[in-house]
A and B are shown apart, each in its own frame.
Chain A
């Protein structure tokens, strides 16, 4: 039996998802969203920065908030120290002299509790922004996001995240992925299919968050849980592709795997427990019928493709070793290196599997380019795209496997 057949449903789903994205990108709501200019409205906004042991970055985060192009009397900055054990608390206190900055100290209770403390301290705010303490907003980001709230159904808006000064291959790979995420959220917003309001920077209507009971732990993914709760309550989530925010990302493979394991585990636990009824439910439109089911399929497909590739490599390796055993290695190597003499289109290894895989990969690259263009993110994509193509597939299966194992065994990992 040719095991490639097992991969076809997942490749079909990937291409279908990309085709849906492309069609939606060109549809009227998405076009209108891209034409939207920065708002001149200035509702009262509170920017909340929950923080635990971020002494390296919190200062830059606060500085970027102070530099926002927004009237100071309409902008409150709430820095919440969630019981940090490093120098975070004193750094936060050094910003307390700013008229519109409030610093809150609490014992360590988790990010969601810190966010709720910030919301409670900003009673006069119409909108609340949540910004991770390792992220830095562009000066125009807030104005870009506010326009989305002109529609009364909109309860939240997401920003255009990319990696802050990506240098290493791993950071550049994540940058390409994040920039693709900008395009994805922009497109999904057109059909109200966003299922996560990312922590680095998202803006919420305060009364809706309060009405829904504030942030919860949400299986260590409070941003995803809040977005799902907003969707379940019948509100909409917008996306502002020009609201640029730059965030720090894991710099080592184990750290990246740990972060993504938390994200994926959070998705699975939310989906299998509190929000199970949303999956496949036509009441939630694109989110229920397409986005959430494909989330499951992506996890399953990622794991299956990984094992399939491993199996193929091992079985072909063994077969090759058996066939070539006894024949000088130099001859075998010479037959493996293509030369002009034996180069011919006749031997092109073109198969249905390879071509469909190529189409799916080309689609991903297309959305990276779209994400960069619609957000005008200043990024050098080429290295990141190459790294994404070559490295991502080698690392992702690990966090997918760890996540499935954690959910299956009810293993709870610490956030940090």
Chain B
């Protein structure tokens, strides 16, 4: 028997094998911390979450912010397309994973989904580079949504951008839950973006002619926590799954398909109608 032709490489995770089995784990370390020997029972879920991505333990303030953000994102509610998709899985009796795959695919989107967060975080990177005292320049960074002349590898498959990232294209004024979340998160004093957003929300929304969406708030929070746009996109997908899962199960076990909306249809290219029109003509 020969050894592996190439190894898996990681800076995140180290496992020591059981003495009697090279495939079983005796101890696991995450970025050097003994997960089961030291962290378990002492650290919080968000501590490990932050550690996994950033390679270091969060400060108490960062952990509080991430914990609060996770709560704010946990359930977009049954009207959200992502949760609706998961519920469609539940109502038909699809497998649990199918409901979550549905939630992830829909929740990945460029309008209201994880791609929206990533693009908004890209915009926050431009915001950092803009002169601190130039409010107009900073706002311009956050509302730009021109499509690039040439698609980058990460642009593949995505449609043209229809609105600035992180804003609600159908909003009239800032939704109450967004304002409540912004006030709470900005008050936690981590990073400059949330407090700037809180202070300049009116000017920013006026320039965008759209109200801030929860994705825009999440983007600012992820960026204040030090996450990259790619990390923010991934975390947004992850942190919105709890509500999708719960709603999928509720439809499957409590309500069933007979109480799930199945709207009437307005078929605008109907051969029966065409035939009737032709016979009249």
Q: Are A and B co-members of a single complex?
A: no
Using a CB–CB cutoff of 8 Å, the interface residues on chain A facing chain B are none
Using a CB–CB cutoff of 8 Å, the interface residues on chain B facing chain A are none
